[in-house]
Amino acid sequence: MRVFVFLVLLYANIFAYAALRKVQVIPMNLKKKIVAAAVAGTLAFGLGAYNANAAETERDSIAQVALLQSLAQGYFGGTITAGELLALGDTGIGTFEGLNGEMIVMDGKMYQALGDGRVIVTPDSTIIPYATVSFFDKDVALPLKNIKNKAEFEKALNETVEKNGKNSFYMVRLDAEFPSILFRSEYGSKPPYPTLVEALKGKQTEFTEKNIKGTLIGLYCPSYMGELNTPGWHFHFVSQDKKKGGHILELSLNKGTIYLDKSDKFTMIVPDDQKFHSFNLAKDMSADIKSAEHDTKGNMK
């Protein structure tokens, strides 16, 4: 499969690896062409043509909007909509303009877990500052039982990833009843936006549920993604009745089968707006990202 690498001057160290890992980076001002290509089957770029048929090309690719590092620095705007994002994948996670809640994409629908704990179906016009989606296939099945906490959960997943290829990307889905689960969401912020951690300190809300049925959607990024996302796991949850959900901080599981969708291609859509290009994306945001991913509100620094 032919893969073009765009924006050669951006993250040159990542692009040195791109030739091996089939990475492409697309400016956000091409987003309308991408959506059109999903229908027409071909995206023209310069003198070449990129086959963008969703059934063949995009189905085996992880598509990411912006960087987790840009979100960590306070890029809560964007130029791609929820409707356009759904053309790139039917399963995934992310957030919304103003950091207004947590995103869960499943079965081709996008859900927004709000700061008050409610879940709504996301309007197609909603702006997306950061997200990662894929077209989900059940490539690997992993039966699980007697999982006491999130650390044990990730350990079992890591062992499976090690067997199947730790340098690939994985989207995961688990439909199960959770004896206990702790998840968070957050109320939205207004411009000028704070950093991710500062926004969460002031507006994060946390919810503990017992014996709740629902769906976990998660993403695994390999170790070399440290400058574009965060290596390891990131999980979101939505209840079976689609009334509760958010970013998972802790969980337990008696039994269930989690499915992994393995992808060896990665597409990053870069926002083409002045605010995005004002950030120093070489800045190390790993400590902030770790805190935002794992800490309860009282433990954030």
DSSP 224: G
What pLDDT, on the 0 to 100 scale, is given for residue 298? 64
**Residue 39 forms part of a structural domain:** yes
What pLDDT, on the 0 to 100 scale, is given for residue 27? 57
Enclosing H/E stretch for 91: strand 91-95
**Residue 300 forms part of a structural domain:** no
Query: Domain boundary residue among 134, 169, 190?
Result: 134
**Residue 78 forms part of a structural domain:** yes
Assign residue 153 the CATH number of its domain: 3.30.1330.80
Domain that holds residue 88: 12-108+120-134
| Among 77, 67, 23, residue whose Cα is nearest residue 190 | 77
Q: Let me know whether 126 and 187 are in one domain.
A: no
Q: How many domains does the chain have?
A: 2
The answer to whether 249 touches 201, Cβ cutoff 8 Å, is no
Provide the residue count of the chain.
301
Q: Let me know whether 147 and 125 are in one domain.
A: no
Cis peptide before 192 (omega within 30 of 0): yes
Q: Let me know whether 241 and 199 are in one domain.
A: yes
Q: Let me know whether 223 and 145 are in one domain.
A: yes
Q: Let me know whether 154 and 101 are in one domain.
A: no
Query: Domain boundary residue among 100, 134, 168?
Result: 134
DSSP per-residue string spanning 254-277:
EEEEEEEEEE-EEEEEE--SHHHH
For residue 221, CA distances in Å to 167, 189, 262 come to 8, 27, 11
The answer to whether 160 touches 142, Cβ cutoff 8 Å, is yes
**Residue 81 forms part of a structural domain:** yes
**Residue 269 forms part of a structural domain:** no
Residue ranges of the chain with per-residue pLDDT less than 70: 1-58, 297-301
Quickly count: other Cβ atoms within 10 Å of residue 256's Cβ: 16
What pLDDT, on the 0 to 100 scale, is given for residue 295? 82
The answer to whether 94 touches 128, Cβ cutoff 8 Å, is yes
Q: Let me know whether 125 and 151 are in one domain.
A: no
Q: Alpha-carbon distance 26 to 62, whole Å?
A: 13
For residue 282, CA distances in Å to 69, 267, 277 come to 9, 19, 12
The answer to whether 217 touches 92, Cβ cutoff 8 Å, is yes
Query: CA torsion sign, 78 to 79 to 84 to 87?
Result: negative
What pLDDT, on the 0 to 100 scale, is given for residue 6? 31
Q: Let me know whether 130 and 167 are in one domain.
A: no
Q: Let me know whether 48 and 144 are in one domain.
A: no
What would the pLDDT profile of 195-235 be if each residue is shown by its tens digit? 999 999 989 999 999 999 999 999 999 999 999 999 999 99
**Residue 37 forms part of a structural domain:** yes
Answer whether 0.75 is exceeded by the pTM: yes
Q: Alpha-carbon distance 100 to 97, whole Å?
A: 6
Q: Alpha-carbon distance 169 to 262, whole Å?
A: 6
What pLDDT, on the 0 to 100 scale, is given for residue 26? 60
Quickly count: other Cβ atoms within 10 Å of residue 50's Cβ: 19
Q: Let me know whether 254 and 157 are in one domain.
A: yes
Q: Let me know whether 181 and 206 are in one domain.
A: yes
Q: Let me know whether 128 and 152 are in one domain.
A: no
| Among 263, 112, 111, 90, residue whose Cα is nearest residue 188 | 112
Q: Let me know whether 84 and 22 are in one domain.
A: yes
What would the pLDDT profile of 88-110 be if each residue is shown by its tens digit? 999 999 999 999 999 999 999 99
Which pair of structure tokens corresponds to residue 161?
């990833």
**Residue 91 forms part of a structural domain:** yes
**Residue 292 forms part of a structural domain:** no
Q: Alpha-carbon distance 259 to 174, whole Å?
A: 6
